[in-house]
Structure 1
Amino acid sequence: MGDQGTGGIESRGVESNTTRRMSEPRPNTHDDQIKQQAKETKTSNAEGEEQKYAQTGPRLLLPVHTSNTAANGGLSRNPSTSSNASRESRNMFEFSQRCRSSRPLEPPVTKSTLSELDVNKIIHNPKLRHDINFDPDLHFRPNVDGEKGRRKQEKANQFWNALTEQLQLFIVDRDEFMSRFGQGEEWCLPLLLKSVKEIIQTLVPQRDRMYLDEGLNVELIMQQFGRGIADLEKLASWLSGVLKSHCAPMRDEWVDEMHSQLTNGNNTNDMEELVQGMRSLLSVLEAMKLDVANHQIRCLRPILIEDTVHFEQRFFLKKIRDRKMDPSPAQAWYLTVSQYYSRDPASVQAFGEMGIFFEALCKMILPSTDPYSHPDTFVFDEERMAKLRSDMLDAINLEICMRLFEGLERKYRYYDSMSSINSSVPTPFLATPFSDASGFLSSRSDDGGSDNMATSRPSSLVFSSSGSAQSSPRNSLVLPTQPATSSADDQQTKSKDLYNSLVALLQTSSTSSRSISRWKAMKDSLALQIFRYTNAPAQDLLQFEDELDSHLSELASPLFQQVEQYYHYRLLVELRQRVKDFKGLTGAVLFSVATGGRLHGPTRSWDGPRESVSRERTSLENAIREAREEGGVEDMATRLAHMGLLHWRVWSHLAYAGDLESVMAVPDMPMAI
């Protein structure tokens, strides 16, 4: 989004509260986000996977030859002297008075705002270099979210509105315009052209910059503009040729649109269309800069990953030497946890000298652990830790739902289904499987939430035969009965279908809400969905809702503690195996294995029990339970092992198991990159 200035960094799965987005469902590509504001009256289609940056081949930049005679139209014309122009001039008086007392506005996209995309800034950005180890899809994109994005958009709108008013003043009252701006270059158009030139200079080879000075001589263009002889059409054509010579082919259509807007706006004296063309020009330049930066990230990724430990050790050691970071709290933390975690033989064999650290790390992502108990050494991993804690909470709560379902199912397994059929008529909604949970949700959003949020928390479900959205699940519920489970396969299928439907229902909630709040908000919907898969009588629903509410996200609940303890044990077992397999790998190989070999993506689903010779199954119920837990635990163990190994390699000698004094005595070494 050209109006916004430079973006942050988007990383799949995690959202940053600064310039990075990590989390969760993938937004539109950065190309769509850039064009969104540049094309306010059109809706752009989301592009797919980011195309590989490529140049169309070296072409010389030919200087634009500006005519010395008056052009035929647009801003080159003499100003109107009609009575309408006089009235418009008077309407401009308030604007000109405001201009006299205000400082010139800066274009929303400049060389400075895009400076973080320079390769030198990428190499020396410690947070980016850390995050690149974990996300194969990490790339730059415009940062348009939150309060910071809103302020950027407001500032951009102020600039474009001011430019439009200034150009209109030039058309209707040149005397007033000249008295205000004269031949100066402290108004929006020359500032914009200077910014365009500076950005293009960073995109073209050194050999072509001499032609850029000829073709985009801002001082000469503004002199011609003041005399009404500037040929903006030729300037637009020259800019179009320059951009097409150095941008990826997929940008050509966008460049043509920019050229058309500038030409039409100039010919028809439509200042709004002319300014829209200038907005498109900045947006194209920003997109080109992003293409180059993302291409550099892809090319440099193997080198940056291999150099991560060396780079971060030097970075943090310098902060410690400069007294900008104190390692004492981290040392105290490690000494404390070493007193609580015993040297389990299995941990010693798998973790080696990292045993205490990994046992503490495994404990840190449990919901019952204080989320702020980790030291400052995890400064670059706070988002990943929060995501792991959230995923662990989701896994525990889903398991609680399934265990309560199993208890209810056993209780009413032989419930007389015929009596329920005779006493109630299933509604059309409940007669079909709950394969698309979002179709049953009302459109009302959370209090204080966005009115346009499609995945808002459900306020009620539609269950009455009339289909009223205002009906309460408790007073209009008519439950269809489930036939008695006739075989182990039927029980397995029912459990799998329920589990996956609960996951689907959970995904309809707002992704911006905190995990605990999300579960509490959806407890009634979850209870109702569980009820559909049992033969329990409808009058038991209220009691079941209360029972579910007493366990979901309730740290003091005995059932929650039992499930959390069980997941902690399972995670520790899987973590031992992952660390044992990963600890001998180099940085690049570890990245490839840990990010490319996950068994499950961020959306959790269960496909039924899987065969395993290493685990003993005592019953069908235990086999079903193990199968639905396996994928999520394995994924969390892989992520935790990857993060922990990189963290230990950086900090073991700086804070945990090494002698900091001896490390401090080592002189600085030159950077590997």
Structure 2
Amino acid sequence: MDLSKPKPKKAHPETCNDQESDAAERCRVTETKAPADNDRDQHPRQDVQPKEKQDPPVTPNKSRSKTAATASSSPPARGGMSMPSQIMIMRMPPSVSLSSEDKELLRTADPLPPVTRETLSELDLDRIMRNIHLRTDANFETDLHFKPDLDGEKGLRKRAAADRYWSAVHIEIMAHAISTLNGESVELEVVPVSQLARIEGDWFQPRLPWMFETLQDILKTLVPERDHACVAQNLDVRLLMQQIRKGVLDLARLARWLAELLKMHCAPMRDQDADRMVTEISQGYDTHDMGKVVDGLRTLFGLLEMMKLDVANHQIRAFRVALVEDTIPFLQDYFFRRMATGEFKADDARTWYLSIPKQVTDLSREAEDRAFFPPAVLLRGLCELLLQFDEPASYPQTFQFDLHRLWQLRVTLQHLIHIDVCWSILEHLINRAECRASRRHIYSRFRSRISCLLDTSSDSGSDNLGTRLPNAANVALEIARLAHEARSGHASPKDVPNSLITEAEKSIKRHLATESPVFRHYRGILRHELLTETYQLARKYINMSPLAICESQRARVAAAPSMALGRTQRQREIVVIAMKLAHIGVLHWRVWGPLLYAAASY
């Protein structure tokens, strides 16, 4: 694939819409560690030139039969595609007996492969440059990486749909194979969509023609234009379907040609996938095992998706500097146009910003520096949202592209408060009796054990003891065990008195079921430490370019081991949070200050 760096066209945010600004339906951006392979293994080859002459496995037949021509009917609708007025259907040969489940599968499974040119279009360079989520994330994550979106319930649904599609393809191939052995002909016809309900017999929309059509479309986006004629010749859909019906299609030879073509343009680390595809299709073809053939086809489309991802990830690395540097004018233009047309409402965000000085009475320190006071108010407001006891009903609309970062910061800050409160409970239990271990030793063990429990979500709400503390019951048990160990020197959980466990549970309920004085005390300490670090960093960032802020953060992370000397683990965690909060706040101010907040006066 030709990956010489083209000069990126200036992206116009006005062309973005909600559908385009979201991550791809099949792919999402995530932060991953860069692969250990060298850069040549991470993106498609640029040093391998394709052969001038290809020895095609199939010689196209220029004469097309009337039956074969039916493969050119309109494709099924998917996503934003319009519904065709007529579709092609295939009638099941009489010799093919199917169960009711198989018939239902043929009728209801997706008509197109899980990977199509449309699903991969979000990975095109033009779409990447206009992807507002990616532009924002590029400021905070140095190792952005596209990968298939197969996580969570959405991923399960996609895998299930893919399984159903390939099972339907398997049945369709078997039907062709059986009809060929029995000398029967497969009937294909084009019918109006309006008449589908009146068609009798076992029929379904054939998937093979559109699978080959999709394969050809995707390949043309992955190989240079000089190879397009070769692709069109060897993937002539009408000819391939004619050969399938006659039982003369050499799938093994076609697979070898595909592997040779793909290896010319994919990253070297994808070669094994191409080889696996050839092995699966060849073994299935030689042994008449259509299940193996379908496995090979599935591997083929997975390889095509990974090749497109490799190209997109290479382009993200190549254009990351441009994406970051252009962040502020791009976002301002994007939001200004949407505000002008009424698509985006920012009044609530401005109201929230103006309300901060009224709700926060101790802004005297921020007011000492009048130039820094407006962004300091914004940072203070964010800090209060992150530290408040109850979860915010929502964040201001202007933070819509930072929501996941803000929620992560809130979870981390609440985690620190919970640890402080739990430590105060443990200290109270220890102070009631003679302590036989050093406090430093106890705190070290407490911190590691309690942090692990707080990071593990419980499936049972009863384990939280009616509080917001994750695994509250287990945390109480661990506090009681540590208190008993400090008192007696014995570490066996069986020796922990029930009265001690009960007291630990009651203390957790008292301090963390509601916004208790103890919770407010430790929140206040954390607020002071966090704001001190955040303001210091924000003053530094406020006049820096977005790229300079990113590089400053990267340099600070690299120097973290030496900077950690003399700091406790808690202090190091607060510094990391402050870096992220200052980055979010300053970038937000640079975008929204002139658009929304500048008119505010205090």
Structure 1 and Structure 2 fold alike (TM over 0.5): yes
- Secondary structure of the residue aligned to 1:8 is strand
- CA–CA separation in structure 2 for the residues paired with 1:68 and 1:339: 77
8 Å contact from structure 2 (residues 109, 168) kept in 1: no
- CA–CA separation in structure 1 for the residues paired with 2:290 and 2:96: 18
TM-score (norm 1): 0.70
TM-aligned CA deviation for residue 110 of structure 1: 0.5
What corresponds to 2:429 in structure 1? Answer: 408
Structure 2 residue 42 is the aligned partner of structure 1 residue 52: yes
- 1:578-608 CA distance string (max 9 Å, x none): 112222221112112225524899xxxx99x
TM-aligned CA deviation for residue 157 of structure 1: 1.7
- 1:28-64 CA distance string (max 9 Å, x none): x9x9xxxxxxxxxxxxxxx999952141522137251
Structure 2 residue 404 is the aligned partner of structure 1 residue 383: yes
8 Å contact from structure 2 (residues 252, 281) kept in 1: yes
- 1:119-143 CA distance string (max 9 Å, x none): 1111111112111211122211111
More deviation, 496-505/265-274? 496-505
What corresponds to 2:7 in structure 1? Answer: none
What corresponds to 2:167 in structure 1? Answer: 161
Distance 1:200 1:67, change over 3 A: closer
- CA–CA separation in structure 2 for the residues paired with 1:68 and 1:496: 74
Distance 1:550 1:57, change over 3 A: same
TM-aligned CA deviation for residue 250 of structure 1: 0.6
8 Å contact from structure 2 (residues 105, 164) kept in 1: no
Q: 1:140 aligns with which of 120, 139, 146?
A: 146
What corresponds to 1:516 in structure 2? Answer: 468
Between the two proteins, the alignment pairs up a number of residues equal to 518
- Secondary structure of the residue aligned to 1:140 is strand
- CA–CA separation in structure 1 for the residues paired with 2:569 and 2:106: 69
Identity %: 29
8 Å contact from structure 2 (residues 96, 175) kept in 1: no
Distance 1:335 1:204, change over 3 A: same
Distance 1:145 1:641, change over 3 A: same
8 Å contact from structure 1 (residues 413, 535) kept in 2: yes
Distance 1:179 1:354, change over 3 A: same
What corresponds to 1:564 in structure 2? Answer: 523
What corresponds to 2:185 in structure 1? Answer: 178
More deviation, 95-104/214-223? 95-104
- CA–CA separation in structure 1 for the residues paired with 2:589 and 2:140: 15
What corresponds to 2:130 in structure 1? Answer: 124
Question: What amino acid maps onto 2:245 in structure 1?
Answer: G
TM-score (norm 2): 0.77
TM-aligned CA deviation for residue 151 of structure 1: 2.3
- 1:499-526 CA distance string (max 9 Å, x none): 2232234345469999935243533343
1:88-103 aligned within 5 A: 89-92=95-98
What corresponds to 2:322 in structure 1? Answer: 303
TM-aligned CA deviation for residue 299 of structure 1: 1.1
More deviation, 262-271/209-218? 209-218
What corresponds to 1:546 in structure 2? Answer: 505
What corresponds to 1:642 in structure 2? Answer: 583
TM-aligned CA deviation for residue 204 of structure 1: 1.0
- Secondary structure of the residue aligned to 1:57 is coil
Question: What amino acid maps onto 2:281 in structure 1?
Answer: L
What corresponds to 2:234 in structure 1? Answer: 215
- CA–CA separation in structure 2 for the residues paired with 1:128 and 1:323: 24
What corresponds to 1:189 in structure 2? Answer: 208
More deviation, 273-282/358-367? 358-367
What corresponds to 2:220 in structure 1? Answer: 201
8 Å contact from structure 1 (residues 129, 305) kept in 2: yes
- CA–CA separation in structure 2 for the residues paired with 1:529 and 1:138: 43
What corresponds to 1:425 in structure 2? Answer: none
Q: 2:340 aligns with which of 313, 316, 321?
A: 321
Question: What amino acid maps onto 1:332 in structure 2?
Answer: T
8 Å contact from structure 1 (residues 122, 128) kept in 2: yes
Question: What amino acid maps onto 1:181 in structure 2?
Answer: L
- 1:192-250 CA distance string (max 9 Å, x none): 11111111111111222222222222222222222222222211110000110000001
8 Å contact from structure 2 (residues 240, 249) kept in 1: yes
- CA–CA separation in structure 1 for the residues paired with 2:28 and 2:48: 29
What corresponds to 1:502 in structure 2? Answer: 450
- CA–CA separation in structure 2 for the residues paired with 1:535 and 1:102: 67
8 Å contact from structure 2 (residues 135, 324) kept in 1: yes
8 Å contact from structure 2 (residues 146, 309) kept in 1: yes
Question: What amino acid maps onto 1:354 in structure 2?
Answer: P
- Secondary structure of the residue aligned to 2:146 is strand
- 1:75-134 CA distance string (max 9 Å, x none): xxxxxxxxxxx9993523868966896697111110011111111111111112111211
8 Å contact from structure 2 (residues 389, 515) kept in 1: no
- CA–CA separation in structure 1 for the residues paired with 2:331 and 2:459: 32
More deviation, 247-256/145-154? 145-154
- 1:341-385 CA distance string (max 9 Å, x none): 454245643934312212212211113265135321111111111
TM-aligned CA deviation for residue 159 of structure 1: 1.3
What corresponds to 2:29 in structure 1? Answer: 9
8 Å contact from structure 1 (residues 333, 375) kept in 2: yes
Structure 2 residue 331 is the aligned partner of structure 1 residue 312: yes
Structure 2 residue 243 is the aligned partner of structure 1 residue 224: yes
- CA–CA separation in structure 2 for the residues paired with 1:58 and 1:328: 57
Distance 1:255 1:594, change over 3 A: same
TM-aligned CA deviation for residue 182 of structure 1: 6.7
Q: What is the aligned-residue RMSD (CA, Å)?
A: 3.6
What corresponds to 1:77 in structure 2? Answer: none
- Secondary structure of the residue aligned to 1:320 is helix
8 Å contact from structure 2 (residues 96, 178) kept in 1: no
- 1:609-651 CA distance string (max 9 Å, x none): 954xxxxxxxxxxxxxx83431121111111000001111111
- CA–CA separation in structure 2 for the residues paired with 1:361 and 1:327: 16
- Secondary structure of the residue aligned to 1:556 is coil
Question: What amino acid maps onto 2:123 in structure 1?
Answer: L
- CA–CA separation in structure 1 for the residues paired with 2:365 and 2:93: 90
Structure 2 residue 389 is the aligned partner of structure 1 residue 364: no
- CA–CA separation in structure 2 for the residues paired with 1:100 and 1:411: 72
Q: 1:66 aligns with which of 58, 71, 79?
A: 58
Distance 1:188 1:252, change over 3 A: same
What corresponds to 1:334 in structure 2? Answer: 353
Question: What amino acid maps onto 1:413 in structure 2?
Answer: E
Question: What amino acid maps onto 1:210 in structure 2?
Answer: A
